[in-house]
Amino acid sequence: MKKWGVGFTLLLASTSVLAKDIQLLNVSYDPTRELYEQYNKAFSAHWKQETGDNVIIRQSHGGSGKQATSVINGIDADVVTLALAWDVDAIAERGRIDKAWIKRLPDNSAPYTSTIVFLVRKGNPKQIHDWNDLIKPGVSVITPNPKSSGGARWNYLAAWGYALHHNNNDQVKAQDFVKALYKNVEVLDSGARGSTNTFVERGSAMY
């Protein structure tokens, strides 16, 4: 019994020496905060079971374009998970990652997709159901700034696509629609997180 106890102690000591503490920084865009908080816990537990190493994953969040600029300017990221391939390409152009990054993983290195929805006030008092409702007088829109937020660029393209589809691909009419839409935007926050916080206090709809 004593011999078994000594052997067990030595095994634990040996394992603790071999185990490593690994710290990683994931630089991501605004809406992914809660997703990666959950995913990181699951991954860390999986990695611990597979290798014995302890992985601590730190997170940095902001508008996708701003995050790309931070990496270009020197923030020491181990992983980037941004909203647009354009932003990752900008990092690759500066030599921070391989230019062939998109071929490295399945599905063009895009592990998930999403869609665009409208969030309205309880009871939908402004009767907002589609894009065209967002340009009505008296409607106040909250959305991130497409100059800094990757998700906001998808929002912009979705609005543009809607306008083209409903105007027989008339570019001028599509441009007029998007102008009218952004004329109704009350606040252009730098990222989706900021827009969500703003919508708590003001606005008829957020997308």
Q: What is the pLDDT of residue 17?
A: 52
What per-residue confidence (pLDDT) applies to 191? Answer: 84
Measured CA to CA, the distance from residue 185 to residue 199 in angstroms comes to: 12
**In this structure, which CATH number among 3.30.450.90, 3.40.190.10, 3.20.20.80, 3.40.1710.10 belongs to the domain 119-206?**
3.40.190.10
Note the helical H segments in the chain: 2-18, 33-51, 64-72, 85-93, 106-109, 150-165, 171-183, 192-201
Low-confidence residues in the chain, pLDDT < 70: 1-19
> What's the token pair of residue 114?
């999403």
State the CATH architecture for 2-109.
Answer: 3-Layer(aba) Sandwich (3.40)
DSSP-derived secondary structure letter, 123: T
Report yes or no on whether pTM surpasses 0.85. Answer: no
- Note the pLDDT of residue 190: 87
Q: What is the pLDDT of residue 30?
A: 83
Question: What are the boundaries of each domain within the chain?
Answer: 2-109, 119-206
